[in-house]
Amino acid sequence: MIEIGAACRPRLARGVRLRVDHISGKTLLLRPEQGFELQGSALEIVKLCTAEPTVAEIVDRLVASHEGVRRDEVEADVARLLSDLVARGLIVVGDAETATSANSEMSITSATSEPAASAQASETSVAIGAVPRPYTLVAELTYRCPLRCAYCSNPVQLNAMGPDLETDIWSRVFQEAARLGVMQVTLTGGEPLLRPDLEQLVAAAHASGLYTTLITSGIPLDRDRLTRLRDAGLDGVQLSFQDSDAAAATRIAGMDALPEKVEVAGWIRGLG
């Protein structure tokens, strides 16, 4: 178990979001391609992980809000849950001197917490509610791509594939998917950066309440556009690398793109 000091200020890790499943009513921690259901007092504890209260202050608030609970039991539950979430990369901690404000959204449309003495976080998969349903939508926005990776199944003869779906059609698809209970959308291709309306598509997915991830080669991308995508509501980026060796990467991708990818990786990390 990871030891977490009483003076630490826990907060959601970058790219982790707290969301309510409108079909089941359950609350989940989301990150790319994963969802973790919060059960019992875990929800109450995580809602307090805003980088403001220390672990000791979180315990104080829980003890004060639940009559008859023992402080040592609450401390043990909080420590156990935070240790588990830190190990999973869902929560990060800093001490009282250095912790900064949270950079992950903490807004919840509806939630109820149980005053239970136990705290659990369980990973959820395709079926979140009583009836199995789609959880993640993979949106292939285009077949176009500047790379020619030998292993890729993306078609290279595009004249026979027909045009890309228009912006308003994808926007409708995102809304319909959300109503079905989809909670995440993965924007991929081809290379989705080749769509000039990508910012609009990200904004539409975000407005539908979907956790939005972009899978990209990073070619072509500049820092300003990455900033616009983040501001439009992009939650996560998965940047593909063909190889860490420049010669091998060029041989696989059909072009020398490794230096640009490394630069893009730095922008992604810097922009959070």
pLDDT in tens, the chain (272 residues): 888 999 999 999 999 999 999 998 999 999 998 999 998 899 999 999 999 999 999 999 999 999 999 999 999 999 999 999 999 999 999 754 443 333 333 222 222 223 233 344 554 444 444 567 788 999 999 999 989 888 888 776 666 677 899 999 999 999 999 999 999 999 999 999 999 999 999 999 999 999 999 999 999 999 999 999 999 999 999 999 999 999 999 999 999 999 999 999 999 999 87
Six token digits for residue 256: 């020398």
How many Cα atoms sit within 13 Å of 37 on the Cβ side?
Answer: 14
> What sign does the CA torsion over 208, 209, 210, 212 have?
positive
* pLDDT at residue 117, rounded to an integer: 31
**Is the distance from CB of 188 to CB of 154 less than 8 angstroms?**
no
* pLDDT at residue 1, rounded to an integer: 83
* pLDDT at residue 171, rounded to an integer: 98
pTM for the full predicted model? 0.81
* pLDDT at residue 130, rounded to an integer: 56
User: 127: left (phi > 0), else alpha (psi -120 to 50), else beta?
Assistant: beta
* pLDDT at residue 152, rounded to an integer: 85
State the fold for domain 11-124.
Arc Repressor Mutant, subunit A (1.10.10)
Sequence spans of domains, the chain? 11-124, 136-271
Tell me if 11-124 shares its fold with 136-271: no
State the fold for domain 136-271.
TIM Barrel (3.20.20)
**Which residues have C-beta within 8 Å of that of residue 135, sequence separation ≥ 6?**
35, 124, 125, 126, 127, 128, 181, 182, 183, 184
